[in-house]
Amino acid sequence: MRGRLVVGNWKMNGGLRQNDALLAELRAGWAPPPGREMVVCVPYPYLWQAQAALSGSVIGWGAQDVSQYAGGAYTGEVSAAMVAEFGCRYALVGHSERRARGETEAAVADKAAAALAAGLTPIVCVGETLAQREAGSTGAVVLGQLDAVADRLGDRIAAVVLAYEPVWAIGTGLTASPDQAQTVHRLLRERLGAAATVPLLYGGSVKPDNAAALFACQDVDGALVGGASLKADEFLAIARA
Ligand code: PEP
């Protein structure tokens, strides 16, 4: 069955003191109805803090990236196995902010495979730029990004979470309309074929006031939330929607 999932992406934000407060507020405030899950993806140095604050709670935690490599001479890289040691269940891969800095389709696919091999669920991000949308190539772009990962994973594609994040909606305050989100989610769902139970998240300026309309779409199973995940009241309101 497709679960309902809301994932916070803290990006490069946080600090020991504010993290403590945010994590405690989330823990105190989240009493999920059955089948709903909340996850926070925090910067690497705070994985231990998320683990300490959230262990034994119903909130999961994860990383924002993993290396495509298993280990060795890759200065600055962090492997999926290292992340898993901190109790993570999830890792984002292929976020557009990383793709924009040169992360290739092949690297994203390898990262998804590395995450699975370490027992993590990769949250694979796909999405088109504004220029691509205006050129009418949204479908080709997002399906191409999905195919690159699916070709690498084969049947294991069924074990990922997919996040549709139009690049033009991330951090801009512009949100895809429910119709725009549903149209792309349907395309992705159809392409997943036998793996159609993969949860499909929408991401891009999700806020408490637009979450319910997005979640009402047939093929939207939850959200990947950036800015609003840094405020407990907003993130909780989105998750409750
Ligand atoms: C994101 O970073 O994945 C994101 C969706 O950001 P925001 O919610 O701030 O647009």
pLDDT, mean over the chain: 97
Provide the residue count of the chain. Answer: 241
The catalytic residue positions are 95, 165
The response to whether residue 203 sits with its C-beta less than 6 Å from ligand 1 reads yes
| Other Cβ atoms within 10 Å of 55 Cβ, number | 10
User: What average pLDDT does this structure show over 98-112?
Assistant: 98
pLDDT in tens, 212-231: 999 999 999 999 999 999 99
- E strands, 128-167, where? 161-164
Task: Please choose from 90, 205, 238 the residue to mutate so as to test ligand 1's pocket, defined by most ligand atoms within 8 A of CB.
Answer: 205
pLDDT confidence tier of residue 79, bands split at 50, 70 and 90:
very high
Cα 92 to the chain's mean position, in Å?
A: 5
pLDDT exceeds 90 at position 2: no
Of all protein residues, the one whose alpha carbon is nearest to atom 4 of ligand 1 is 226
Of all protein residues, the one whose alpha carbon is nearest to atom 2 of ligand 1 is 226
The response to whether residue 165 sits with its C-beta less than 6 Å from ligand 1 reads yes
Cα 63 to the chain's mean position, in Å?
A: 10
Q: Which two tokens stand for residue 201?
A: 């998240």
pLDDT exceeds 60 at position 188: yes
Q: What span, in angstroms and rounded, lies between the C-alpha atoms of 12 and 14?
A: 7
Q: Which two tokens stand for residue 113?
A: 């495979």
Summary count for the chain: helices (H), strands (E): 10, 8
